[in-house]
């Protein structure tokens, strides 16, 4: 920040700096060290319900929204995380000095106020102030009180203003937090152990994506930010933890889009003695639990399209879906390409797409009845992959061969082909129990449940280009 003199500031900012100095000159500290509130706004309101004639004094704290100063009586809305409550100040009651200070507060100032709660003549529940304290002076004006903050760039860059001005934004991120809590509760209840695995990887495996590269100075070598959680979690199943999960950030060095942020949040969980059929049931349970946590009905809409999230979801084999769409019965990478092009975008209602070609699934177990396919599914909703899961490949010999096929693709220029992870193959050689595994994109799940069109609307601080 350049050293700015008060004179150079826009008038709206200069006025507030001058107010700040005036307050200090009057002996009022504009940034309080601490404050004790007795009630949130919601608690104050429910207290009034129990004492409709008026409560004992309560102390609330929050940010001042709008003010309505009317001669010797002033009204203001105080906002905290739970909601809002009206404050009433009267010159007769507070005395002229304190009243004057109240009426010169700005929207955005953080204050604490004490007084009984009762209704105004118009029926508005209000804290009738016996006194108030300025806790944090706001030196910048709030966004337009009626239109909110519309500028989409400012909403992302200054998320704090978006959260103050737009209730919908608060709702989305509250729902996101509750969804993640619900997922943890569901998995914990099934005996899964939440673990943390490294973000810095020697070998960026578990998915097909270009990684971010970073450098460790003391080791004198490059490391990669993880693109998936998979390989470390399956090592833990080898280690006997049997049911593990991690909810964590992964990083993919790809372009930005309404559905892609370079860092995003994945749930991955692995269950010994389970297969991909079990993972389908688990997927359904996760979606239902998440929807309930977000307060989203199972009969919902996404961007104007009706979506029914009631399980069980349709199950269809990829070869059949492609044949229905194109009339051709394909195998191998061509099947997968045709699926992505002709089928996936049209799958609006929740659908488990089963049995992927082995060539695009180097970590999944082959089908016993047809080794060209693996026991893998993706749960697709609104044309987007929500879950990717499979019966894990446990045969270390086959795993090494699959890695070598990927290495050949890599040598041929496919930067996203899976690299060989020797240590992972060694872990398999010790014996991975039959295991089902599942990965779920939390951001896309929250987008679906909160009806948000862009992944940027469900990530608090999404990646943008450098500010001008």
Partner RNA sequence: GCCCGCGUAGCUCAACCUGGUAGAGCAGGGGACUCUUAAUCCCAAGGCUCAGGGUUCGAAUCCCUGCGCGGGCACCA
Q: Decide if 312 contacts 284 (C-beta within 8 A).
A: yes
Q: Pick from 57, 83, 131, 148: which binds RNA (CB under 7 A)?
A: 148
* Residue among 158 and 170 whose Cβ is closer to RNA: 158
d(CA 400, CA 350): 34
Q: Is 92 one of the binding residues for RNA (CB under 7 A)? A: yes
Q: Pick from 75, 278, 311, 323: which binds RNA (CB under 7 A)?
A: 75
- H helix and E strand count, the chain: 14, 20
The greatest distance separating any two alpha carbons of the chain, rounded to the nearest whole angstrom, comes to: 88
At closest approach, how far in Å is the CB of 340 from RNA? 6
Task: Give the three-class secondary structure for 125.
Answer: strand
Chain Cα centroid distance, residue 15: 38
At closest approach, how far in Å is the CB of 218 from RNA? 31
Q: Decide if 230 contacts 439 (C-beta within 8 A).
A: yes
**Span interacting with RNA, options 145-153, 212-220, 233-241, 321-329, rule CB under 7 A:** 145-153
Q: Is 163 one of the binding residues for RNA (CB under 7 A)? A: no
Q: Is 206 one of the binding residues for RNA (CB under 7 A)? A: yes
Q: Is 409 one of the binding residues for RNA (CB under 7 A)? A: no
List Cα–Cα distances, 218 to 212, 222, 223, in angstroms.
19, 11, 12
Total number of residues that touch RNA (CB under 7 A) = 79
Q: Is 68 one of the binding residues for RNA (CB under 7 A)? A: yes
At closest approach, how far in Å is the CB of 219 from RNA? 27
At closest approach, how far in Å is the CB of 456 from RNA? 6
Q: Is 154 one of the binding residues for RNA (CB under 7 A)? A: yes
At closest approach, how far in Å is the CB of 434 from RNA? 18
Chain Cα centroid distance, residue 419: 29
Beta bridge partners of 224: 201, 213
d(CA 113, CA 87): 8
What does the block give as tokens for 293? Answer: 């946590």
At closest approach, how far in Å is the CB of 351 from RNA? 14
Q: Is 468 one of the binding residues for RNA (CB under 7 A)? A: yes
Q: Is 67 one of the binding residues for RNA (CB under 7 A)? A: yes
At closest approach, how far in Å is the CB of 163 from RNA? 14
Q: Pick from 41, 58, 115, 156: which binds RNA (CB under 7 A)?
A: 156
- Hey, CA dihedral for 72, 75, 76, 81, is it positive or negative? positive
* Residue among 36 and 147 whose Cβ is closer to RNA: 147
Q: Is 73 one of the binding residues for RNA (CB under 7 A)? A: yes
**Span interacting with RNA, options 256-264, 285-293, 324-332, 393-401, rule CB under 7 A:** 256-264
Please give the residues from 297 up to 336 whose contact with RNA meets the rule CB under 7 A.
none
Q: Decide if 276 contacts 355 (C-beta within 8 A).
A: no
Phi, psi of 150 (to 5 degrees): -95, -35
Q: Is 152 one of the binding residues for RNA (CB under 7 A)? A: yes
**Span interacting with RNA, options 184-192, 231-239, 252-260, 347-355, rule CB under 7 A:** 252-260
Q: Is 348 one of the binding residues for RNA (CB under 7 A)? A: no
Q: Decide if 440 contacts 187 (C-beta within 8 A).
A: no
Q: DSSP label at 112?
A: E
Phi, psi of 42 (to 5 degrees): -65, -40
């Amino acid at each position: 920040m350049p050293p700015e003199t008060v004179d150079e500031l826009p008038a709206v900012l200069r006025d507030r700096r001058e107010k700040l100095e005036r307050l200090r000159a009057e002996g009022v500290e504009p940034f309080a060290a601490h404050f004790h509130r007795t009630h949130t706004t919601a608690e104050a309101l429910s207290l009034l319900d129990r004492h409709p004639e008026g409560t004992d004094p309560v102390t609330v704290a929050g940010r001042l929204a709008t003010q309505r100063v009317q001669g010797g009586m002033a009204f203001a809305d105080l906002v905290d995380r739970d909601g809002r409550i009206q404050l009433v100040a009267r010159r007769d009651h507070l005395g002229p000095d304190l009243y004057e200070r109240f009426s010169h507060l700005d929207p955005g100032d953080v204050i604490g106020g004490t007084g009984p709660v009762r209704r105004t003549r118009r029926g508005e529940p209000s804290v009738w102030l016996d006194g108030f304290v300025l806790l944090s002076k706001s030196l910048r004006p709030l966004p337009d009180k009626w239109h909110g903050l519309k500028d989409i760039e400012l909403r992302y860059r200054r998320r704090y203003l978006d959260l103050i001005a737009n209730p919908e934004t608060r709702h989305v991120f509250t729902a996101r937090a509750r969804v993640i809590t619900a997922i943890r509760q569901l998995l914990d209840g099934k005996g899964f152990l939440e673990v943390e695995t490294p973000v810095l990887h020697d070998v960026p495996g578990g998915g097909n994506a270009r990684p971010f590269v970073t450098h460790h100075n003391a080791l004198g070598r490059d490391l990669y930010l993880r693109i998936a959680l998979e390989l470390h979690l399956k090592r833990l199943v080898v280690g006997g933890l049997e049911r593990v999960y991690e909810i964590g950030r992964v990083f993919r060095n790809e372009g930005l889009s309404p559905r892609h942020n370079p860092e995003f949040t994945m749930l991955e969980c692995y269950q010994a003695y389970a297969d991909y059929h079990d993972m389908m049931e688990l997927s359904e349970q996760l979606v239902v639990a998440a929807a309930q946590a977000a307060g989203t009905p199972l009969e919902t809409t996404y961007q104007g399209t009706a979506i029914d999230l009631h399980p069980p979801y349709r199950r269809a084999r990829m070869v059949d879906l492609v044949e229905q769409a194109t009339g051709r019965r394909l195998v191998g990478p061509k099947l997968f390409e045709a699926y992505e092009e002709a089928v996936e975008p049209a799958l609006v209602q929740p659908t488990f797409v089963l049995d992927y070609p082995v060539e695009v699934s180097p970590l999944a177990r082959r089908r016993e009845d047809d080794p060209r396919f693996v026991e893998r599914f993706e749960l697709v909703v609104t044309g987007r992959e929500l879950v990717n899961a499979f019966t894990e490949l446990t045969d270390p010999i086959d795993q090494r061969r699959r890695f070598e096929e990927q290495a050949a693709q890599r040598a041929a220029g496919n930067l996203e082909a899976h690299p060989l992870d020797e240590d992972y193959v060694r872990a398999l050689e010790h014996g991975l129990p039959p295991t089902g595994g599942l990965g779920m994109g939390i951001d896309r799940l929250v987008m679906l449940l909160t009806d948000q069109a862009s992944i940027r609307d469900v990530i608090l601080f999404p990646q943008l280009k450098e500010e001008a």
